[in-house]
A and B are shown apart, each in its own frame.
Chain A
Amino acid sequence: EADIYQTPRYLVIGTGKKITLECSQTMGHDKMYWYQQDPGMELHLIHYSYGVNSTEKGDLSSESTVSRIRTEHFPLTLESARPSHTSQYLCASSVTGGVNEKLFFGSGTQLSVL
């Protein structure tokens, strides 16, 4: 299976806290993505990166930020968490080279903001 890891698996946090969701992959993939998914709803792309020092915003507006300092690491940060940020966050990666490349997904982080 895919070698892409997300931590923490579950996070419950109070309003106003700063949080960072971790995502790492050991496959050497250039492209990485963050998706947000609410229960029963489709995935929405919130951030993506085509390589080191490359980050772009996705289709869904998000107050989160990302960084890509190393190929294998693509953390997502919320400076001040709010209840509206409660959701499932899925990280994914794929190999450079073609639009039909396979996406590998992490197990997700379920974030609850109280």
Chain B
Amino acid sequence: AQTVTQSQPEMSVQEAETVTLSCTYDTSESDYYLFWYKQPPSRQMILVIRQEAYKQQNATENRFSVNFQKAAKSFSLKISDSQLGDAAMYFCAYVSGAGSYQLTFGKGTKLSVIP
């Protein structure tokens, strides 16, 4: 079974600075997808960024980028120029490419942004 591990329960960053959230996963599959989801205090989950395992290029979405190390099974999220609105729980998630649509989530990292 696949597992997703987020080893940082809480992180904090100064406004305008850069922070990196860690995520590692365990799988025996070669075809899969990885996601970072944001859950702000309002509780509605929002997709931040998505990475296809077959792509070597790291995904980027504005201030959000990932460092995808397939051999190391590592998928970290970098947030640049942090803003107060970035404060939230961040969940790393995995889904198999073998026809399953069920996501496996990590436990989450609570990010605080200090003004």
A→B interface (CB under 8 Å): 1-2, 31, 40-45, 48, 58-59, 88, 90, 92, 94, 99-103, 105-108
Contact = CB atoms under 8 A, between A and B. Distances in A.
B45 A59 contact: no
B107 A99 contact: no
Contacts of A43: 91, 103, 105
A1 B44 contact: yes
Given A41-B108, A106-B44, 17 more contacts: A1-B44, A40-B108, A41-B107, A42-B105, A42-B108, A48-B101, A58-B102, A90-B45, A99-B96, A100-B33, A100-B50, A102-B47, A102-B50, A103-B37, A105-B37, A105-B44, A105-B46
A94 B101 contact: yes
The 10 closest A-B pairs by CB, nearest first: A105-B45, A42-B105, A43-B105, A108-B43, A42-B107, A107-B44, A100-B33, A102-B47, A107-B43, A99-B95
Contacts of B50: 100, 102
B52 interface: yes
Contacts of B97: 99
23 contacts: A41-B107, A42-B107, A42-B108, A44-B105, A59-B102, A88-B43, A90-B43, A92-B45, A99-B33, A99-B95, A99-B96, A100-B52, A100-B95, A102-B47, A103-B45, A103-B47, A103-B103, A105-B37, A105-B44, A105-B46, A107-B43, A107-B44, A108-B43
Nearest to A106: B44
A56 B44 CA distance: 24
Instruction: Give the one of B47, B50, B97, B100 with max A CB within 10 A.
Output: B47
Given A42-B91, A99-B33, A99-B96, A48 B102 contact: yes
Query: Looking at B37, B42, B45, B104, which has the most chain A CB atoms within 10 Å of its CB?
Result: B45
Contacts of B99: 99
Interface string B69-89: 000000000000000000000
Interface in B11-26: none
